[in-house]
Amino acid sequence: MPLNGDTTNPFVTSSKGSKSPGPRRKADPDGMAGLREDISRMNLVQRGEYVPPLPEKQSKDVHRGRDLDRFVPARPPASRSSSTLADMHDSSRDTSFDQSSASLSASLGLAPSNRRILSFRAAPPPASHATSHLDTQRNYLLHSSASNNRGTATSGNVAQTAEKRKPHLPERVLDAPGFLDDYYLNLIDWSSANRVAIGLGALSYVWDAETGDVTALGEETEESTAVCSVSWSSDGAYLAIGNEAGEVEIWDVEESKKMRVMGGHNARVPSLSWNGHVLSSGCRDGSIFHHDVRIAQHKVMELRGHAAEVCGLKWRPDGVLLASGGNDNVVNCWDARVGQNVMGEQTRVVPKWTKRNHTAAVKALAWCPWQPNLLATGGGSQDQHIHFWSTTTGARTSSLHAGSQVTSLVWSPHSKEILSTHGYPNNNITLWAYPSLQKQYDVPAHDHRILASSLSPDGCTVATAAGDENLKFWKIWEPKVVKKSEGDERDARGQSKVRIR
């Protein structure tokens, strides 16, 4: 409200009854004092130009019991409860940011938008197919090194334990020039004598994991045909080789001598499996022969259960059941005790059971070493599933979607886990826990699809061969620790004596 007696402010009205101001200054020759007096007598309130607002009376309850900041004006209780100093700060900052963004957009000739000026309009272009595998391996190595630097928080966590023993790099890599990029062939096998056999073109080679020596079986000639399958006998002394001409060769590896050639098939032989002195061979025409390698008339039985190429063939270790998979998407389980009558004459053999759940060729077959009635099968690129079967009832116990073409399966003899190798599109190896079927880890193993794998005699290392013409050795499992008196193949620390040079 106006101050009483203040006539020095030209915008304040003098009130009635106010005392006259002090004695005026003497007149100056220029007449400025008179001008000031005239201005001081002007009453602007009467002309309606300015009326100073009257201050509101504050309630005593508002100020009672608390101290107010003298620089923050008092507000009604409702406004104080609905807004805070932080809200006012954020709103002012957003307003200033919007104004600056609008002015910057206008200066650059851009349309007003809520998007940031320096922002990606679209995702970066994907890597080309030629270098996509390099990007995958680069990201994998970066991730693995970061995981190693971080360490583990709890030792009891299963996932962290699996990550700790994850093979980031292979133990060894060997060149395999001439390795055929054919899904239906089985060109690698690891013997109980710690030798690895591999088919390269028209010849088979044996690599001794103890000494590192490589031996070629035979010499390539004009009549030589491509090797389609290799398989070691149970004692590791003999190697069976199936070729493109439909023949099966038996080699004495120690002598590097071909023992015999068994014919009879009309097409190539892509799968082989031993059962004692009986060698079973799968043919491209869908037939399966049993050969008794001890006698001249080697063919002792023929099985007909597939309409297409038999690309998977595996005897159970006890020799009672034989599993076969074909390009007709069929899995058959054969009983070795059926097929001959009491007179020794052959009869038509039918499978114990047949499964058609896969929607692509079935090449990957694996018998569980610690549960004999459990069989695992894997399908091709159009299926990408792994099924588990009870051979006692023929029922499917469980299944999982692997996400890639399944080319081989390997059970662990030391733990309840199974390893799967894959082709298109990931070319990786994956470790699964059983029976939970939880993925333990993935490893981008090769630049091209993995075509075959084999387990070392100690059950710890897996060899994989792929279309990139590389043979890689991966340390997947640790050896089972046993007492010194129980295992003559292990040293005092429980480490396996199997070595890879």
Assigned domain for 7 exists: no
Residue 192 maps to a domain: yes
Report the pLDDT averaged over residues 391-415.
96
Q: Answer for the pair 232, 222: CB distance below 8 angstroms, yes or no.
A: no
Q: What pLDDT, in 10s, does the model give residues 457-500?
A: 999 999 999 999 999 999 999 987 766 554 455 554 455 555 66
pLDDT at 102 (0 to 100):
73
Domain of 332, CATH number, reads 2.130.10.10
Across 189-203, b (16+ Cβ under 10 Å) vs e yields bbbebbbbbbbbebb
Distance between CA atoms of residues 436 and 418, nearest Å: 11
- pLDDT on residue 83: 44
pLDDT at 196: 98
Name the residue among 235, 234, 179, 175 with its Cα closest to residue 203. Answer: 179
pTM of the shown model? 0.67
Token pair 């309009």 in the structure block, residue: 121
DSSP string covering 191-239, please? Answer: -TTSEEEEEETTEEEEEETTT--EEEES---TT---EEEEEE-TTSSEE
Amino acid at 385: H
Locate tokens 């002792």: which residue?
A: 300
Q: Tokens representing 64?
A: 């009672």
**pLDDT value, residue 154:** 40
For residue 306, how many C-alpha atoms fall within 13 Å in the half-sphere facing its CB?
A: 31
- pLDDT tens, 201-223? 999 999 999 999 999 999 998 88
Torsion of CA 101, 106, 108, 114, to 10 degrees: 40
Structure tokens at 133: 């595998």
Residue 107: per-residue pLDDT: 72
Q: Which H/E stretch holds residue 79?
A: helix 77-82
| 415 in any annotated domain | yes
**Residue 331 · residue 377 · CB < 8 Å:** yes
How would DSSP label each residue in 412-473?
-SSSSEEEEEE-TTT-EEEEEETTT--EEEEEE--SS-EEEEEE-TTSSEEEEEETTSEEEE
The four Cα atoms 271, 274, 278, 284 give a dihedral, to 10 degrees, of 0
Question: Looking at residue 306, what is its pLDDT?
Answer: 97
pLDDT, tens only, 82-131: 444 445 445 555 555 567 767 767 776 666 665 555 555 555 566 555 55
197 within some domain: yes
- For residue 65, tell me if it sits in a domain: no
d(CA 260, CA 98) in angstroms, rounded, equals: 88
pLDDT at 165: 79
For residue 134, count CB atoms less than 10 angstroms from its CB and return exposed for 0-12, middle for 13-18, buried for 19 or more.
Answer: exposed
Average pLDDT of the chain to the nearest whole number: 79
Distance of alpha carbon 242 from alpha carbon 249, whole angstroms: 6
Q: What is the mean pLDDT of residues 293-300?
A: 94
Residue 133, pLDDT > 60, answer no
Helices within 109-178 (DSSP H only) = 132-150, 158-164
The residue-averaged pLDDT of 344-365 equals 89
pLDDT tens digits for 37-55?
A: 655 555 544 444 555 555 5
pLDDT of residue 149: 45
Categorise residue 290: left if φ over 0, alpha if ψ from -120 to 50, beta otherwise. Answer: beta
User: What tokens appear for 460 in the block?
Assistant: 């710890």
Helix (H) or strand (E) holding 92, with range, is helix 85-108
Q: What is the pLDDT of residue 106?
A: 73
Residue 435 preceded by cis peptide, ω within 30: yes
pLDDT at 33 over 90: no
Q: Which of 374, 379, 409, 416 is nearest to 395 (CA)?
A: 374
Tokens of 17: 């009854």
Q: How confident is the model at residue 338 (pLDDT cuts 50, 70, 90)?
A: confident
The rounded distance, in Å, linking the Cα atoms of 358 and 234 is 30
> Which pLDDT does position 127 carry in this prediction?
57
Domain membership of residue 306 as a residue range: 172-338+351-475
Residue 355 reports pLDDT greater than 50: yes
Give which of 277, 246, 251 is closest to 263, Cα–Cα: 246
Structural domain includes residue 297 = yes
Q: Report pLDDT for 227.
A: 97
- Give the pLDDT mean for 351-377: 97
- Residue 407 covered by a domain: yes
Residue 256 — very low, low, confident or very high, per pLDDT cuts 50/70/90? very high
- The structural domain count of the chain equals 1
DSSP string for 354-401: EE---SS-EEEEEE-SSSTTEEEEEE-TTT-EEEEEETTT--EEEEEE
Backbone angles phi, psi at 79, to 5 degrees: -70, -35
Give the residue from 458, 457, 451 showing the smallest Cα distance to 472. 451
Residue 425 pLDDT > 60, yes or no?
A: yes
Q: Is 259 helix (H, G, I), strand (E, B) or coil?
A: strand
CA atoms within 13 A on the CB side of 408: 27
Rounded Cα–Cα distance for residues 406 and 364 (Å): 7
pLDDT tens readout for residues 143-159: 554 444 444 334 345 55
**Cis omega (within 30 of 0) on the bond before 372?**
no
Q: Which residue shows structure tokens 């402010």?
A: 9
In a domain, residue 281? The reply is yes
**pLDDT at 14 > cutoff 90:** no
Question: Can you tell me the distance from the alpha carbon of 285 to that of 264, in angstroms, rounded to the nearest whole number?
Answer: 12
